[in-house]
Structure 1
Amino acid sequence: MPLNDYKGYRLRNRVFIGFLAICFLSVIASATLSYVILRDNAKKQSQQDMQNKSEALMSSLDYALSHSQVETYDIPKILENEIYEIADINKHDIIIYDLNGNYLLSNKDPNLVAQKKMPSDVIKAIKKNGKQYDDKAYDEKLKATIVSSYMVLKNNMLENIAYVYFPYYHNESAYMEVFKEYFIYIIGVNLLIILFSIWFSWIISNNLTEAIIRFTSMISKINLFDKNLNPIKYYKNDELNALVKAYNKMIAEIADQRERLSYIEKQSAWQEMAKQVAHEVKNPLTPMKLMMQNFERKFDPNAPDNATKVKNLSEIIIGQIDVISRVASAFSEFAQLPQKNDEEISLNKEVKNVLTIFSDENIFVHANHDNIPMKIDRDYLSRIITNLVTNASQAKADDRKSVINVDLEKIEKRIRITVEDNGVGISEDKITKIFDPNFTSKSSGMGIGLTMVKRMVEDYNGTITVVSEPDKGATFTISMPSNL
């Protein structure tokens, strides 16, 4: 068996056993809880029924003795006939004892009364309790637990006058039989739940491990230089969805890093070229100046055309020197940006200060907050805004008035700067190269401005994008963290 399959198999078993264990524990817990609740309810119902019957019997006896002041010795005479009616209505035998525990009266034949004297411990228990004493015993004939009750009989003056005994009064086992019957049904239902859980747990564990194996296979194929990395399509909203999102985010970041690496490599090549150009261009500057100075010193002042020659030569050489100096300065500036000095600023205020140099332009600044704090190097921000607004100004159309909108937005912890113009726009074939070094769509310039802007934005972990429609204008959008 392959290693990956073996691990998946082991994981599937662990998940299956885990689900099954939880199911068994749940079933056992629910069965135990049901058992305790049903048992307690059966006992409570048994005790409640016994109490209700006892109270009914005592109410009948109390009513029979309530018509006059009765003492213990009056009981046999008063209840001589009524005791049979009371016993018949309540369907229980009744035996009455005096306060010393001696037999007084019963609905049964005296010869059939086995207990002519109450046990002394029962009398003590009743006197201690003050109301009732229940005696439990197991009947071998009935194979059940029988509860008999001794209760205190009072007269209409609430004086104790006798003890009433209800033999074989209550059968607790009958209630427990009902409980057992219900519990058997519960066990049957739980067995069905267990069988269903086994099947369902196996299905879940299979689906889970199959998904993990598939994801593992895709993750193992990740390569920084592979351009055909496809995102995983997974639409269930569960924990695996978080894994899929992390994977999809990772491959997106890999693609971004791949592009960034390509850009850095290209940028490094241009930096080297810029340094070389700066070095090569600056070398001839001094000899050229010396040549001009020597020429001016040695020329013949009597020659009729000397003035013209000197003027022409000077203009040519000085013009070339100026051109070479501008090229060298531009490439040197691109090769090495100044050291960043980040400080907390108000973006609104700084942008407005930068835009004061464009006094002749129709520039409008909009912000979603009156004060947008940001941590950035002032020079970097100034160069970024100046380059973008300059480009927007130079791209104005001849047939309409130029309008430039600068939007400043703070969205959570990110800053978005948008520079929009209504100029001539950028053609589709040029828009993909707009940030490349030495690329320009204008007749003059070195094509370094937007490349520098992009580099400075990316130094702050930001991004810059452009959208444009020919003859309708262009929109540059910068997104970067506020760093606060």
Structure 2
Amino acid sequence: MKLKKFSLRTRIFLAMILLVLLASVLISAVAIYQYSEQSQDYHKGRLERKEGSIQTHLKRVLNGRQNTWEVKTANIPYIFKEEIYNIADIHKLQINLYDLEGGLLISSKAGLQTEVAEKCLDAEIMNAINNTVEFNSESELTRHRYVDKHRENGELFQSSYTFILDQKSKPLAILNIPYLEKDDFLQKELEEFLTRLGFAFMFVLVTAIVIAFWLSKYITKSLKTISDKINTTRLEKRNQKIDVDDTSEEISTLVSSYNSMIDELEESAIQLARSEREQAWREMAKQVAHEIKNPLTPMRLTVQNFQRKFNPEDENIHKKVDEYSKTLIQQIDTMSAIASAFSNFAKMPAQQSETLNVVKIVKLALDIFNEDYIVFQAESEEIIAKFDRSQLIRVVTNLVKNSIQAIPESQTPKIEIKVGTEAGKVFITVADNGVGVSEENKNKVFEPKFTTKTSGMGLGLAMVKNIVETYKGTISFDTEKDKGTTFKVTFPKA
């Protein structure tokens, strides 16, 4: 799983825990490495100290009053015949003495090494002794010294080789000290240290988890508040500003930017609403003026014709007056219908929700139509919903009227109305086999004043959409050119 899929709070939490774990691993690795280096330094120093002490002890024997032998290589076995065991016992190390050619002179056979000392040194060791020169920090002189390291039976041995010098600083013999590196006490000390370190890290880890949880929650709390506010921000309502205390400078900057955006958004919403209202009233005024002008023109022509042809002595004067009057009354009724239509459109449907049988109400709405090509179907005899009875009738009648007017006279009309339920909602469909809706007019169907008919004001479908959305419903349509259109209304069940 990618890290970016985690929330910011989770990433902060995991990052802090990972840092603690990484620190614990690094410190443990450094501790182990340090103990390893310390162990090597300890054994190296211990071997040098032991070697120096044995060298001093051997010189005391060589130059002591008890020694009656001449100090030379051949007499070494006689000089140290008894003393070498005492020296080995005192220093707890095996001591081997070789002549300058690498032949064994005498050995203490210390208990730390069970194998018998070699009778003769290898040529490689002899070359290494002669060619390796190092500085002795104690005597501040250079010396020939070689340390051979090898592993036997899983144990590490060091074997040092140095010259024993006489009083004239000439090589007398080769001192070999085998040394076993025993790390038991260092290993135990390391295990104890790592155990204590483990307990300390467990405490630090638990503390880090608590702190990481609190810190990540504290950091993301302000961000979540901002996120929640942004998610609820809407153009059509008044939005509240964010008020967050005790935040960082970055969060404060973000909050200030959001609050400034809210002020700008509110001002823009007010300007947009004002502009939309003004535009709506302009369009409404244009439509009203257009619709009123239509009947005024024939009324004017009728009155002018009446003035021009009026003759009181005409025997058909009463008949002509009746005809003129009927024409004027008809146009006045048209103007009254226009005024009523715009009044009904402007009036929002009252949300007087009542529990009713949708099937029954739709049938009632269809009773005003006498056309035999109107077919009604329902999934069941009773589908209950909450809707205003008169508004539901208005929705059905407007849709059916629209379908009737969409069918050309040259075609056999057919209109199907269906009522049913799906996904917890009630649906009403009105399908016709009319001319359909062209591609360029699909986005204008529910706009006020839009119509493709020669008569009418284009308010029917806009009114239906207004009513349906008031009751938390939706209206949509599917159309096919010259094959028909199906309008579908859905709204919640009771």
TM-score range, shorter chain: 0.3 to 0.5
TM-score normalised by L of structure 2: 0.42
Q: TM-score, normalised by structure 1?
A: 0.43
Rg larger in structure:
2
